[in-house]
Amino acid sequence: MTTTTPAGADPYAGSRETTEGRVYTVTGGDWDQAFGSDLTGEERLVVNMGPQHPSTHGVLRLVLDLEGETVTKARVVIGYLHTGIEKNVEYRNWTQGTTFVTRMDYLAPLYNETAYCLAVEKLLGIEAPQRAQTIRVLVMEINRIASHLVGLATGGMELGALTGMTNGFRERELCLDLLEEITGLRMNHAYVRPGGVAQDLPPGAVESIREWLTVMPERLAGYHKLLTGQPIWQRRLKDVGYLDVTGCLALGVTGPVLRATGLPWDLRRTEPYLGYQDYDFEVPTADTSDAWGRYLVRMAEMFESLKIVRQALDRLEPGPVMVEDRKIAWPAQLSLGADGMGNSLEHVRHIMGTSMEALIHHFKLVTEGFRVPAGQVYVPVESPRGELGYHVVSDGGTRPFRVHVRDPSFVNLQATAAMSEGGMIADVIAAIASIDPVMGGVDR
């Protein structure tokens, strides 16, 4: 049976009107045209890799055309982890938005929070206090190491280096322990807020970070002993997933994949934010343009992040961690209770006992939120996977009119076909691992 599509209608997204507005139904109606329904007479095998395959980095699906074990065509199918976060943010106030965006790239949540808050602050025309900016740099660089360790661990698991996998997650636990001590959570922190951060570093956090700094260099050096000089590891990565600088620029690929082609493009250096121009660190590069170079770049970046964390600790100066403007600062002077959740009873009594006006203002700030002047901005940061940019639009209200994210995993996945076609099916796994995509950021 065939169906006809009315003139002017979208064949892949039919719509109907409801009491809540127009609802779209998206379909994948081009399957027969894209993949063909009759393969008889062809020496071609179409294989689905994923979306449950252990080597596809989450719910990513690859449709591969094979001739023997050679990949002749590679297609990426996404959308299995779609969460509608960008749309949901439009129905929450500006501060609540940070609890949504932190769930996009769940391996680098603090980068989403920071980029979003920098965009909101740019619309407001404010800057977070210096101590808050330093704390943001501190937690982001710890998060960068944790994210790279997951990329290393999952890539090792997919290529059969199981000790690399167990060691990678072992060291990541040390990073997450620190983030939990600082923010209260191991992932999806909602710690960075418009105007600063939710709370100051707790007592003992600086000492914990300094102890971590004494342990991590030796732990990271262990990966060079375990993997870098290993002949099997080298043969699985060298000359695999080749993509040169021309291909990266044509596809918009950024991050370690781009720097592995020899181009030292790092937004912390080229377009500094949060005072990164005052930190002493190198931008690691390689000239191999393959999975091997991407591995070496990520390894070197972790050592550079340790240098930045050490400098951030030395730059910490006493001061507020939230802007003084009480019409923006939320939650105002947060004081956690003994259970680690919500405000302490003493803080609640202080708010309620100050004056009726203070109580009303606090209530309106929490429930309704502050207003942001109308306008639009684009703010990028250098996440572990590349340029993470936030295009934020305000109509002057207490909620975002639009939040659109340039997620590096989504853009970098375009390179899958260029890296895989013409190679062996086993090398597809190494190529995808070297991109290090996170599907929460791709589908959002």
pLDDT at position 26, please?
61
pLDDT at position 366, please?
79
Report the distance separating Cα 132 and Cα 325, nearest Å: 15
| Segment 315-344 mean pLDDT | 70
Length of the chain: 444
pLDDT at position 1, please?
44
pLDDT at position 200, please?
87
Question: CA 381, 322, 181, 214: dihedral to nearest 10 degrees?
Answer: 60
pLDDT band at 332 (very low <50, low <70, confident <90, very high): very low
pLDDT at position 363, please?
77
Among residues 134, 82, 75, 85, the alpha carbon closest in space to that of 109 is found at 85
- The angle, 0 to 180 degrees and rounded to 10, between the axes of the packed helices 425-435 and 291-315 is 20
pLDDT at position 102, please?
92
| Segment 31-58 mean pLDDT | 67
Count Cβ atoms below 10 Å from residue 5 Cβ, excluding itself: 11
pLDDT band at 373 (very low <50, low <70, confident <90, very high): very high
Report the distance separating Cα 70 and Cα 73, nearest Å: 9
Greater model confidence, 443 or 137: 137
pLDDT at position 271, please?
92
pLDDT at position 322, please?
85
pLDDT tens digits, residue range 160-203?
A: 888 988 999 999 999 999 999 898 888 888 899 998 898 889 88
278: three-class secondary structure by DSSP: helix
Beta bridge partners of 388: 381
Beta 45-49 vs 61-67: how paired, if at all?
Answer: antiparallel
Q: Quick check: 340 pLDDT over 60?
A: no
pLDDT tens digits, residue range 221-276?
A: 998 888 988 899 899 999 898 999 999 999 999 999 999 999 999 999 999 999 99
Q: Quick check: 2 pLDDT over 90?
A: no
pLDDT band at 293 (very low <50, low <70, confident <90, very high): very high
| Segment 403-407 mean pLDDT | 93
pLDDT at position 327, please?
75
pLDDT at position 213, please?
94
pLDDT band at 28 (very low <50, low <70, confident <90, very high): low
Domain map (residue ranges) of the chain: 13-77, 99-325+409-443
CATH assignment of 99-325+409-443, given 3.30.720.200, 3.40.50.10320, 1.20.990.10, 1.10.645.10?
1.10.645.10
Q: Quick check: 205 pLDDT over 70?
A: yes
Q: What is the average pLDDT score of the chain?
A: 85
Contact 238, 320 (CB under 8 A): no
Tokens of 40: 């008889």
Which range among 32-41, 53-62, 84-93, 135-144 shows the weakest confidence by mean pLDDT? 32-41
Q: Quick check: 337 pLDDT over 90?
A: no
pLDDT band at 410 (very low <50, low <70, confident <90, very high): very high
pLDDT at position 321, please?
87
Q: Quick check: 154 pLDDT over 60?
A: yes
Greater model confidence, 366 or 286: 286
The b-or-e profile of 230-254 (16+ CB within 10 A means b, else e) is eeebeebbeebbbbbbebbeebbbb
pLDDT at position 46, please?
85
